[in-house]
Amino acid sequence: MESATTGARRTSTVRTSTAQTSTGRTGTGHPKAAEVSAGLERLLALIRWLSPPGLSLTTAATLGTLDRSGPCRLTALASNEGVTQPAMTQLVGRLEEAGLAIRSADPADGRAVQVQITDAGRELVGRRRAARAERLSALLARLSQADQDALAAALPAINALASAQRDDVPVIGGED
Residue 68 is part of which domain span?
Answer: 55-159
Q: What is the chain's Cα-based Rg?
A: 19
List the chain pLDDT tens, one digit each, 176 residues: 444 444 443 333 333 334 444 444 445 688 898 999 999 999 989 998 999 999 998 999 999 999 999 999 999 999 989 899 999 999 999 999 999 999 999 888 888 889 999 999 999 999 999 999 999 999 999 999 999 999 999 999 998 988 886 655 555 544 43
Residue 135 confidence (pLDDT): 94
Residue 74 confidence (pLDDT): 93
The answer to whether residue 122 sits within a structural domain is yes
The answer to whether residue 26 sits within a structural domain is no
Domain count, the chain: 1
Residue 15 confidence (pLDDT): 39
The answer to whether residue 132 sits within a structural domain is yes
The answer to whether residue 11 sits within a structural domain is no
Residue 115 CA to residue 120 CA, distance in Å, equals 14
**What CATH number corresponds to the domain at position 133?**
1.10.10.10
The answer to whether residue 49 sits within a structural domain is no
Residue 155 CA to residue 133 CA, distance in Å, equals 15
User: Do 141 and 133 touch, CB atoms closer than 8 A?
Assistant: no
- Please tell me whether residue 72 adopts helix, strand or coil conformation: strand
The answer to whether residue 4 sits within a structural domain is no
